[in-house]
């Protein structure tokens, strides 16, 4: 293998990026490859664990390139893109301090371990309900029948969405998640805009109701918060809630999908987990490391930054490849081996620094409930086919479908 210009959307990379990651780590760990942002001619790909950690903590690598290069700010936004453009101003994942700090503080004050602990019985109940719906069929497409409804239902319940309306959130979540991916087209942006408009209208009604009558839910907690004597306005609340929806769901969907695929492809490890269910917590960390649903995140050089023997020039785009860091031989022994008992396991799937995944504990709790249910209730679970297709996406790695069976039919 000799990589001259790494392209994460190349078919062979989508199928299995890890050999390419290993070559880059060994031969060109700060690599100039295919562009992500269409306004750029290329993108730096950082693949070593140490570099990924350093980049995630580097304040000179940020999101808001338009602050230092005003010409990079969109001067005209089409009507198709306008709803997404306006909403994204309130997504902390796309902001730098001080805006990021303020938005993150808002969520951290209500998105607590105690709230997640209270939700654990509900996660188990949702898992049981979803499996009850398909058990007699002997097969299911795991992503749409199980892996997606689980986190969408949980976040909808956290928000206080009535059960009758929760199904609305699944197409909204998927449409919004597609907007932050590497490659865009008019259809993706149009669907994202439609989802933004519908979701914002729905949330405005709930926010107004909670301002009149508070309940025990996340929206009620957010609308009653005060920051320096001011309560967050509706635009901030809607942007924050929208990011929680798409940011917390799609990675969990593919954590469950990629994780189950890894287990089914490693029957000895799967048998060990069935026999030693106490391994589940460490197993989830290992599944997150082995084939991370969160593969990379992007920054811009806000000024010239020497890095790894190269010069990242102001305005350059940088892909911080957490999926590669998770297979770095300098950090993990036998990184290409699935070891459910691996400890310590300081994987980068949740990031590090100020953008550390605020929903990481919730994602792990949802994955634990999901795998507990699948392993206990479907003991003969197997792949229905080995002909699987990976999504044309790079920020979140996952399959388009994962058909499974658990009895001869």
- C-alpha 133/C-alpha 360 separation (Å) is 28
pLDDT cut 70: percent of the chain above it: 94
The per-residue pLDDT for range 328-382, each reduced to its tens digit, is 999 999 999 999 999 999 999 999 988 888 889 999 999 999 999 999 999 899 9
The helix or strand, by DSSP H or E, that contains position 383, with its residue range, turns out to be strand 382-383
- C-alpha 2/C-alpha 11 separation (Å) is 16
**60-69, 103-112, 172-181, 362-371 — which is least confidently predicted?**
172-181
The answer to whether residues 37 and 319 touch, using CB atoms and an 8 Å cutoff, is: no
The predicted pLDDT at position 68 comes to 92
The predicted pLDDT at position 391 comes to 92
Nearest to 61 by CA among 321, 356, 309, 303: 303
- Return the top range by mean pLDDT from 107-121, 178-192, 193-207: 193-207
The per-residue pLDDT for range 231-276, each reduced to its tens digit, is 778 888 888 888 877 777 889 999 999 999 999 999 999 999 999 9
The predicted pLDDT at position 38 comes to 66
Using 50, 70 and 90 to split pLDDT, how confident is the model at 145?
Answer: very high
Q: What does the pLDDT average to over 28-55?
A: 90
Using 50, 70 and 90 to split pLDDT, how confident is the model at 188?
Answer: confident
- Return the top range by mean pLDDT from 4-8, 168-172, 183-187: 4-8
The per-residue pLDDT for range 281-321, each reduced to its tens digit, is 999 999 999 999 999 999 999 999 999 999 999 999 999 99
- DSSP-based three-state secondary structure for 6: coil
The predicted pLDDT at position 178 comes to 67
Using 50, 70 and 90 to split pLDDT, how confident is the model at 227?
Answer: low
Using 50, 70 and 90 to split pLDDT, how confident is the model at 183?
Answer: low
Residue ranges and CATH numbers for the domains of the chain are 11-404 (1.10.630.10)
The predicted pLDDT at position 409 comes to 44
230 or 45, which is more confident: 45
- Taking CA atoms, 373 is separated from 220, 379, 404, in Å, by 31, 10, 15
374 or 85, which is more confident: 374
Q: What does the pLDDT average to over 178-197?
A: 71
- Integer distance in angstroms from the first to the last C-alpha of the chain? 43
- C-alpha 397/C-alpha 248 separation (Å) is 14
Q: What does the pLDDT average to over 21-34?
A: 95
- C-alpha 337/C-alpha 347 separation (Å) is 14
The predicted pLDDT at position 406 comes to 94
Using 50, 70 and 90 to split pLDDT, how confident is the model at 76?
Answer: low
On the question of pLDDT at 47 being above 70, the answer is: yes
Name the pTM for this structure: 0.92
Mean predicted lDDT score pLDDT of the chain: 89
């Amino acid at each position: 293998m000799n990589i001259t210009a790494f392209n994460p959307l190349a078919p062979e990379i989508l199928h299995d990026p890890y050999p390419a990651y290993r070559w880059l780590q060994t031969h060109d760990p700060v690599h100039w490859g295919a562009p992500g942002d269409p306004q750029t001619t290329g993108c730096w790909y950082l693949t070593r664990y140490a570099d990924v950690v350093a980049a995630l903590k580097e304040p000179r690598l940020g999101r808001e390139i338009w602050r230092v290069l005003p010409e990079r700010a969109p001067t005209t936004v089409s009507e198709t893109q306008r709803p997404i453009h306006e909403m994204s101003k309130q997504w902390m994942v796309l902001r730098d301090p001080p805006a990021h700090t303020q938005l993150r503080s808002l969520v951290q004050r209500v998105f607590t371990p105690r709230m997640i602990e209270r939700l654990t019985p509900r996660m188990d109940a949702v898992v049981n309900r979803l499996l009850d719906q398909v058990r007699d069929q002997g097969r299911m497409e795991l992503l749409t029948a199980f892996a997606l409804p689980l986190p969408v239902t949980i976040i909808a319940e956290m928000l206080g969405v009535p059960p009758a309306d929760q199904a609305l959130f699944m197409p909204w979540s998927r449409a919004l998640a597609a907007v932050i991916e590497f490659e865009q087209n008019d259809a993706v942006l149009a669907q994202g805009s439609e989802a933004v408009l519908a979701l914002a209208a729905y949330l405005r009604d709930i926010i107004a109701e909670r301002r009149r009558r508070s309940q025990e839910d996340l929206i009620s907690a957010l609308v009653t918060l005060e920051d320096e004597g001011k309560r967050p306005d509706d635009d901030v609340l809607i942007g924050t809630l929208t990011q929680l929806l798409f940011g917390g769901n799609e990675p969990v969907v593919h954590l469950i999908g990629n994780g189950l695929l890894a287990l089914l492809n490693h029957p000895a490890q799967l048998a060990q987990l069935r026999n030693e269910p106490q391994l589940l917590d460490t197993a989830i960390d290992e599944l997150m490391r082995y084939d991370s649903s969160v593969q990379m995140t992007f920054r811009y050089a806000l000024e010239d930054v020497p890095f790894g023997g190269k010069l990242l020039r102001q305005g350059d785009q940088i892909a911080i490849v957490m999926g590669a860091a998770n297979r770095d031989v300098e950090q993990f022994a036998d990184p290409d081996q699935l070891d459910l008992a691996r400890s310590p396991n300081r994987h980068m799937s949740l990031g590090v620094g100020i953008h550390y995944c605020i929903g990481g504990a919730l994602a792990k709790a949802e994955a634990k409930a999901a795998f507990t249910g699948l392993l206990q209730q479907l003991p003969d679970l197997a792949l229905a086919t080995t002909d699987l297709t990976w999504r044309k996406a790079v920020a979140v790695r996952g399959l388009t479908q994962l058909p499974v069976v658990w009895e001869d039919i």
